[in-house]
Amino acid sequence: MIDEGRALFLQIAESVEDSIIDGSLPEEGQAPSTNELASFYRINPATAAKGVSMLVDKGVVYKRRGIGMFVASGARDRLLDERRAAFGDRFVEPLLLEARKLGLGPDDLTALIHDRGVATVAATPTEGNAR
């Protein structure tokens, strides 16, 4: 999980966000504590606290005094909206710019994506024939 090129506290925050998005940390469910995160990732508790603090500032988790950290209501939808916007900025905009340079229109892009998706699914082994 640890990526040497990125700040640890950002990676911790993203890991918690991933768990919220995939449902393994449900809304209003208890989130891992700073100490649990520090122990699991073998990092300084202050670093884990910085990642958790970032999530608190975003309204993704909140603290119940004496009980722990909990996932906020609406956190999953908020995170999905944020990630979708980032996906558009990071991947779709450059794709559209390059497509324009190549003279590809929306139908051309749709066909390329469809063809690549079908090819990827066909190349992925299924449970029945995976060895």
For the stretch 59-104, pLDDT in tens is 999 999 999 999 999 999 999 999 999 999 999 999 999 999 999 9
Give the global pTM.
Answer: 0.77
Is residue 22 domain-shared with residue 53, that is, in the same domain? yes
Closest to 48 in 3D by CA, of 69, 79, 26, 71: 69
The distance in angstroms from the start CA to the end CA of the chain is 27
Residue 123's pLDDT is what?
Answer: 75
Under the banding of pLDDT at 50, 70 and 90, the label for residue 15 is very high
Taking only the tens place, the pLDDT of each residue in 45-56 is 999 999 999 999
Phi, psi at 64, each rounded to 5°: -105, 110
Is residue 52 domain-shared with residue 30, that is, in the same domain? yes
What is the chain's mean pLDDT, rounded? 90
Please calculate the CA angle 122-85-113 and round it to the nearest 5 degrees. Answer: 25
Q: Which domain holds residue 47?
A: 8-73
Is residue 38 domain-shared with residue 87, that is, in the same domain? no
Is residue 88 domain-shared with residue 102, that is, in the same domain? yes
Choose between 29 and 129: higher pLDDT. 29
Tell me the C-alpha distance between 23 and 21, whole Å.
Answer: 5
Is residue 68 domain-shared with residue 12, that is, in the same domain? yes
Q: What is the DSSP string of 20-72?
A: HHTTSS-TTSEEPPHHHHHHHHT--HHHHHHHHHHHHHHTSEEEETTTEEEEP
Is residue 19 domain-shared with residue 68, that is, in the same domain? yes
Is residue 32 domain-shared with residue 54, that is, in the same domain? yes
pLDDT cut 70: percent of the chain above it = 91
